[in-house]
Amino acid sequence: MEDISEASDAQLVTSIGRYSEVALAEVYRRHGGAVYGLARRVLNSSVEAEDVTQEVFLRLWNQPDRFDPSRGSLRSFLLAQSHARAVDAIRSLNARRAREIKDASKTARSAYDMQHEAWDLSIADQVARALEALPEEERRVIQMAYFEGHTYVEVAALLDQPEGTVKSRIRSGMRRMRNVLIEAGVQGVES
């Protein structure tokens, strides 16, 4: 019997397709912390982040064929699922709740930064530096969209800028980040 800890992510997903709970547990062990960490960061709520994490892994269990290894890593796939669900949750909250989250996130963000454990410190460091290296206007729109769950239309309204400008800044900022990460040798961001 092959050691499950040595199985590739793609092999694990194949086994999940055959109802292997052991394979799902291994995927959870490898990537659960990242899925939960991102949801918690976006939602600023442990309880809601747990709900999102459950949804992400149940979805992987029920629809493993949605993961296409030729299109990216399993972690990227799971993080995209986690982020989408976290953003959905934020957008379903009423305005009062959304304001509370925004206010709370200002104090919780630093606590997160102090407490979080980077899955790979060198990559986390590279990403942080790539983000910091962006022009302020590009970094700001990406942070508001990704970590605060705003659409580009909302970001434009909040910053009182044209939608086209915000779209362009998100696009140029993401491309700039990708180039920096590629230059730094971070795997999985090449086109």
Partner 1 sequence: MKHDEAYELLAALSLDAVEADEREAIEAHVLGCPRCRSELDALLDVAGALGNSVEPLPEGLWSSISSRIYDADDDVHPMPALATNVIALDTASPRRRRSTMTFVTACASVAAAVIIVLAVSLSVESNHVAKLQRQLASNSYAAAAALSAPGHTVVDLTSSTRQNEAEFVLLPDGRGYLVDSQLPALTSGHTYQLWGLIDGKPISIGLMGDKPTSVTFTVSGSKPTLLGITVEPSGGSPTPTNAMIASGTVTD
Q: Does 139 bind partner 1 (CB under 8 A)?
A: no
- Residue 33 or 159: the one with the smaller Cβ distance to partner 1 is 33
Q: Does 137 bind partner 1 (CB under 8 A)?
A: no
Q: Are 133 and 144 in contact (CB under 8 A)?
A: no
Least Cα distance to 77 among 138, 12, 169 occurs for 12
Q: Are 75 and 31 in contact (CB under 8 A)?
A: yes
Residues between 148 and 167 that touch partner 1 (CB under 8 A) = 149-153, 155, 167
Residues contacting residue 16 through CB under 8 Å, at least 6 positions apart: 23, 24, 27, 60, 61, 64
In this structure, the number of other CB atoms found within 10 A of the CB of residue 82 comes to 26
Using the contact rule CB under 8 A, the part of the chain among 94-102, 103-111, 146-154 near partner 1 is: 146-154
CA–CA separation, 145 and 177 (whole Å): 15
Residues between 95 and 134 that touch partner 1 (CB under 8 A) = 115-119, 123-124, 127, 131
Residues between 11 and 40 that touch partner 1 (CB under 8 A) = 11, 14-25, 28, 32-34, 36-38, 40
CA–CA separation, 175 and 119 (whole Å): 24
Binding residue count for partner 1, defined by CB under 8 A: 82
Residues between 59 and 88 that touch partner 1 (CB under 8 A) = 61-65, 71-73, 75-76, 79-80, 82-84, 87
Using the contact rule CB under 8 A, the part of the chain among 42-50, 94-102, 103-111 near partner 1 is: 42-50
Q: Does 175 bind partner 1 (CB under 8 A)?
A: yes
The maximal CA–CA distance of the chain, rounded, in angstroms, is 60
